[in-house]
Amino acid sequence: MRDGLLARHANLRKAAPAGMELVFDAYLGDVRVNVNTRFKVERILWSGVYERPLIAFLKRRQTAGWCSIDAGANVGAVTLALARFAGPAGRVIAFEPGPPNVKRLRANLELNPELQARVTVVAEGLGNTPGTLYWEEESGNPGNALLRESESAATCAVAVTRIDDYLRKHPVARLDFIKIDVEGMELAVLQGASETIARFKPVVYFETLTRYVGMRSEKVYEGFHRFFVEEQGYRLHRLTADGETTPIEGAFRSGYTIAIHP
């Protein structure tokens, strides 16, 4: 009975109990993904759409041939979408430092050889200083993780680079879109990509959850505004459920923000 309900009602799958494993053939309509209901992100994949406002936004754009960066790719929910919408001429560079997530990301790409050919997986974290940080899975949220500055019994060491440094070694002719979801390190990732953003002026979609404010030494929301508006000349927006953009007036709100250069 439970399995029948979950099969018939896609939205219920987001709350499916742990212990179910399957290959779902209809993510975004025709993309194959592995689903283990222990992981929240994979339960959402099983519902058919992940980050619905972002997907709606992408469908409104002329994305053929896009080159994108996915910072914090996890198991590939957004990576797969970007690769699908970019078409054969497109490219996605997917950064994911967590070893378990990299393994599941690669497994999802292997299920979709046509998309896999468009994706470069970089098993590193991103920030504003190259070096080493320590990946720690978030308690109570398997698959989600933070990068710590100090080592502990619960962490594993991972390499960290800057987008600017990576693209000097691996240059691209264009960069249209960057998605950043890195559990509080979004501003550091942006600072490490300042030259790239100034050059290509990509659309940037980044997490601004209030629970991560104050995790770092700088006032994060003020830092976002200074980086985008004062330094880079961008305008900041929210996404509506149907993918429309509305300018941000005043304070940020929890969720995601999208920066678009005029």
Residues 219 and 104 in one domain: yes
Residues 98 and 7 in one domain: no
pLDDT tens column, 92-139: 999 999 999 999 999 999 999 999 999 999 999 999 999 999 999 988
Residues 60 and 31 in one domain: no
Cα end-to-end span (Å), the chain: 52
The reported pTM is: 0.94
**Domain limits at 4?**
1-49
pLDDT tens column, 53-107: 999 999 999 999 999 999 999 999 999 999 999 999 999 999 999 999 999 999 9
pLDDT tens column, 6-44: 565 577 788 888 889 999 999 999 999 999 999 999 999
Residues 45 and 109 in one domain: no
Asked if 43 contacts 35 with a C-beta cutoff of 8 angstroms, the reply is yes
Asked if 75 contacts 41 with a C-beta cutoff of 8 angstroms, the reply is yes
Reference 72, options 114, 117, 123; nearest CA is 123
pLDDT over 80 at 3, yes or no: no
In which band, very low, low, confident or very high, does the pLDDT at 167 lie, cut at 50, 70 and 90? very high
Q: How far is CA 252 from CA 101, 225, 237, 249, in A?
A: 30, 10, 10, 8
Residue-wise over 6-44: b if at least 16 C-beta within 10 A, else e?
Answer: beeeeeebeebeeebeeebeebbeebebbbbbebebbbb
Q: How many domains does the chain have?
A: 2
